[in-house]
Structure 1
Amino acid sequence: MDLLSVLSFVLLLSAAQGAAVRGKAPQQDWGYVDVRSNAHMFWWLYYAEHYTQVPLVMWLQGGPGASGCGFGNFEEIGPYDTLFHDRNTTWLKAASLLFVDNPVGTGFSYTTDEGAYARNVSTVSDDMMVLLKTFFSSKTDFQTTPFYIFSESYGGKMAAVISLALHEAIQAGTIKCNFKGVALGDSWISPIDSVLSWGPYLYSMSLLDEQGLAKVQEAAAAVQDAVKSGEFERATELWSKTEDLVEEFTDDVNFYNILTKNPMMLAKPEKRQQSSIYYISRLFYSHTLRHQGDLLFELMNGPVRKLLRVIPDDVIWGSQAKNVFSAMAGDFMKPVVDVVDKLLHANINVTVYNGQLDLIVDTVGQKNWVKKLSWQKIDQFRNLMWTPLHMCPQCTETAAFHKTYENFAFFWILKAGHMIPSDQGDVALKMLRMIINQE
């Protein structure tokens, strides 16, 4: 992408959003990789100012079906927000950024065959290996650059499996890459540990009474029974029913920030349509559609697609998201704690970070699956005292707590919900710098 195209991109986006361009536009590149027949994955790269001297971070969004190139880019860590104002806490200050719309069908990624949607994280990982092999083969400057995978929500589940596959590909010599570690943000690593912790967490925060707690725990136990018996699609349906109960007894608490109300209530399917289709649709509206707000939808399908110039005419950003979500329904409740264990045993750096106010993947549930790790050094990690994190030497307010033992770290981010970079951008950027050894 030449400088004129980059400047044109910045100017058009700026004009479209009524904002003035401030500062130097970052160098960018983007494109498609055909990861399978009828499956086309979109990526978008921002170069840091001195990109050969800083790491490369790949960001994976959740959902599944939420767009990293859209939401992660413009709502969380990219250089501009949806109004095209400069983001003061962009992660581009510390690293080059690679956004990927995955699984296939997410964002600007698309399929031309209904059978091409991924149905499990294994296929998601296989697709990403094709993309990364193509990326690092063509972007040879990045082959020796420290490479990290950061993620959020369901993106963390995908990131864990992708990280293990990438490590194995590097060992086999099929991908040339300097992989340094993975960070799992509010990640769906052990779904049942999250679901089982909702009731006690909400009760402790005065958002459930005793009767509500009993009902939510009863529903969560049914989810657990389905998981234990291997009925994962049934477990997904029961998970959705449990969320309904939580909202009923909490007056519609926001699963992504317990201090607020659920903003998606008006968009959800009517409750009278209680069927398997209803429960999957309900989860989609709660956990993926929220990443496709009107402003972002207009931005991505308007000035962004016009300047990218590679998006097929019949591809609408986000139009296949519900198909992506539905195709993965049988995978939702499957844990990947064993994959995290394998990463730690392989001496790969693993960081878990979580927002204090998140419910869907609350910190209590995260700590519970960490206790299940068989990594031989987990007891040493658990016995460590955490350290308070302050934003400056003179600052007295605690922004987070953290602790690290060898290749495993955990960050507890205070006053943040599910989307930590949106809620606490300064803290998220500082955490990034600590993980990539810039602080």
Structure 2
Amino acid sequence: MTTQLRRRILRPPPPGGLEENPSARAAPPSEAWGYVDIRQGAHMFWWLYYANGSAGSYKELPLVMWLQGGPGGSSCGFGNFEEIGPLDRDLKPRNTTWVQAASVLFVDNPVGTGFSYTDTEEALARDVATVAADMMVLLSNFFGSKTEFQGTPFYIFSESYGGKMAAAIAMELTEAVSQGKIKCNFAGVALGDSWISPLDSVLTWGPYLYSTSLLDDNGLGEVTMAAKAVQQAVNEGNFQKATELWSDTESVVKQNTNGVNFYNILTQDSDDKVTSVEGAGHLGKTFTLPVRTLLTHRHIRPLHRQSLDRLMNGPIRKKLGIIPQNVTWGGQAYEVFSSMEGDFMKPVIDIVDQLLAAGVNVTVYNGQLDLIVDTIGQELWVKKLKWAGLPHFNLLKWMPLDDPANPGQTGAFYKIYENFTFYWILRAGHMIPADQGSMALKMLRMVTQQK
């Protein structure tokens, strides 16, 4: 099959608007978007914003690709309008947009996410290896078409499950560039609150919640017991069962914390306090919802809230003008999540090791208030790296960073050794740019070596 690149370019819109600004027709392009047919029956959507920072033209600033989590969360929707794009979901200008510091490429990935779609469920990806291979097709087309970006420093930034995919994609891209298959200046990968080692996250939920007074002794015991069941399934190589038991453990956490929000422990997920999964769980409880339904409810629904759904399937769809009639934004999110279930709990620490050994710049950043990918779990898998620089990294003391939004207050800490950096972002949950936009923008500039 011949891979096709379909795209459209729009001139800068008026503030808060969606239509082309007639007075800006002579200005450089500000946006572009399109589809890439990555495989037979698989169509991936991308959306590019050209940098418009005061540092100069977009050609003088880096290019960043943003990958959302889930799997099944839309970068072009959630990442764009809820976190780092030029407009928020009310179509108001965002003061902390990353477009100030970089051109930003949003990709609805894996295929089937957001405006990406497949003709059949069989065309959905089922593991990160397929996700990475699909992305190589998209990036090959992107850099082959937009040759002006071939020499631009290119970074991959990610969030949640997007980090697991980003690690695999970064490794594939490193090899593709070295073999001359893709022409781009790959400069590094950043893994934000990332699902690199799922088990390390699950095993630290109990201690983290206990240390923040969100579990008592009895609750800690129940959560620990549930987490150990997940550990046993992972150790046995039964990753499908591990995903189901992971859902079970989430339910135990919810029941013992009166509905703590997995994405920010200082908020409460009030409509999901005691929801459980169907059948008899390993703690002998009776559950009420199928595993897949519950997981989608908890981890895809927050990325597809009603107001965002109305925006994407209404004015944004009309603006883009190329979305097929039978495609609904987010319409295949449930199937995307389900298709990746068998791969969901597998770690990719070894891929991060390969990236570091290959000399790729790797950044890990995590929100202080995140539970689902808590910082202590991230620190655990980092300590498991076989990277030769790890002993030196561990000996370093972290350095404070001033919060740009609150001068005089510490906004983050960080450590850097050779090609590895770790940022601890304070007062932020799972979605760091949404919680601490100024600090996230400062981190972006540091990672991309801007002042």
Could you say which TM-score interval applies, normalised by the shorter chain? over 0.9
Partner of 2:135: 128
Cα distance, 1:396 vs structure 2: 2.1
Partner of 1:20: none
* Identity of matched residues, %: 61
Partner of 2:428: 416
Is the 8 Å Cα contact of residues 106 and 324 (structure 1) preserved in structure 2? Answer: yes
Instruction: Find the residue that maps to 1:261 and give its secondary structure.
Output: coil
Question: What CA distance in whole angstroms lies between the structure 1 residues aligned with 2:28 and 2:201?
Answer: 41
Q: Determine whether 1:187 maps to 2:199.
A: no
Q: Determine whether 1:383 maps to 2:395.
A: yes
Is the 8 Å Cα contact of residues 254 and 273 (structure 2) preserved in structure 1? Answer: no
Residues 320 and 392 from structure 1, CA distance in 2 versus in 1: closer, same or farther, beyond 3 angstroms?
A: closer
Partner of 1:164: 171
Question: What CA distance in whole angstroms lies between the structure 2 residues aligned with 1:369 and 1:345?
Answer: 16
Cα distance, 1:263 vs structure 2: 4.9
Q: Which runs of 5+ in 1 are unaligned?
A: 15-23
Where does 1:18-167 land on structure 2 (aligned, <5 Å)? 27-49=30-52, 50-167=57-174
Is the 8 Å Cα contact of residues 278 and 289 (structure 2) preserved in structure 1? Answer: no
Cα distance, 1:186 vs structure 2: 0.2
Is the 8 Å Cα contact of residues 16 and 92 (structure 2) preserved in structure 1? Answer: no
Is the 8 Å Cα contact of residues 44 and 111 (structure 2) preserved in structure 1? Answer: yes
Q: What is the aligned counterpart of 1:11 among 3, 10, 17?
A: 17
Partner of 1:19: none
Residue by residue, what CA displacement relative to the aligned partner does 1:15-43 show, whole Å, maximum 9, x if unpaired? xxxxxxxxx99710000000100000000
Residues 25 and 170 from structure 1, CA distance in 2 versus in 1: closer, same or farther, beyond 3 angstroms?
A: closer
Question: What CA distance in whole angstroms lies between the structure 1 residues aligned with 2:394 and 2:349?
Answer: 16
Partner of 2:417: 405
Question: What CA distance in whole angstroms lies between the structure 1 residues aligned with 2:9 and 2:231?
Answer: 54
Q: What is the aligned counterpart of 2:384 among 356, 372, 376?
A: 372
Is the 8 Å Cα contact of residues 264 and 286 (structure 1) preserved in structure 2? Answer: no
Partner of 1:360: 372
Root-mean-square deviation over aligned CA pairs: 2.3
TM-score between both structures, scaled by the size of structure 1: 0.94
| Shift >6 Å, 4+ stretches | 266-270, 272-277
Where does 1:233-252 land on structure 2 (aligned, <5 Å)? 233-252=240-259
Q: Determine whether 1:291 maps to 2:298.
A: no
Residue by residue, what CA displacement relative to the aligned partner does 1:351-397 show, whole Å, maximum 9, x if unpaired? 00000000000000000000100000101001100001103599321
Q: Which amino acid aligns with 1:78?
A: G
Cα distance, 1:100 vs structure 2: 0.1
Instruction: Find the residue that maps to 2:290 and give its secondary structure.
Output: helix
Q: Which amino acid aligns with 1:254?
A: N
Cα distance, 1:145 vs structure 2: 0.2
Cα distance, 1:79 vs structure 2: 0.1
Is the 8 Å Cα contact of residues 258 and 274 (structure 2) preserved in structure 1? Answer: no
Instruction: Find the residue that maps to 1:305 and give its secondary structure.
Output: helix
Question: What CA distance in whole angstroms lies between the structure 1 residues aligned with 2:412 and 2:66?
Answer: 22
Is the 8 Å Cα contact of residues 10 and 32 (structure 2) preserved in structure 1? Answer: no
Where does 1:260-409 land on structure 2 (aligned, <5 Å)? 260-263=267-270, 265=272, 278-391=290-403, 395-409=407-421
Instruction: Find the residue that maps to 2:344 and give its secondary structure.
Output: coil
TM-score between both structures, scaled by the size of structure 2: 0.91
Question: What CA distance in whole angstroms lies between the structure 1 residues aligned with 2:109 and 2:100?
Answer: 24
Is the 8 Å Cα contact of residues 393 and 416 (structure 2) preserved in structure 1? Answer: yes
Residues 234 and 99 from structure 1, CA distance in 2 versus in 1: closer, same or farther, beyond 3 angstroms?
A: same
Instruction: Find the residue that maps to 2:64 and give its secondary structure.
Output: strand
Cα distance, 1:114 vs structure 2: 1.4
Q: What is the aligned counterpart of 1:256 among 229, 245, 263?
A: 263
Q: Which amino acid aligns with 1:206?
A: S
Partner of 1:21: none
Residues 295 and 26 from structure 1, CA distance in 2 versus in 1: closer, same or farther, beyond 3 angstroms?
A: farther
Cα distance, 1:12 vs structure 2: 3.7
Count of residue pairs brought into register by the alignment = 431
Question: What CA distance in whole angstroms lies between the structure 2 residues aligned with 1:63 and 1:289?
Answer: 10
Cα distance, 1:280 vs structure 2: 2.0
Q: Which amino acid aligns with 1:228?
A: N
Q: Which runs of 5+ in 2 are unaligned?
A: 1-7, 21-26, 281-285
Cα distance, 1:267 vs structure 2: 12
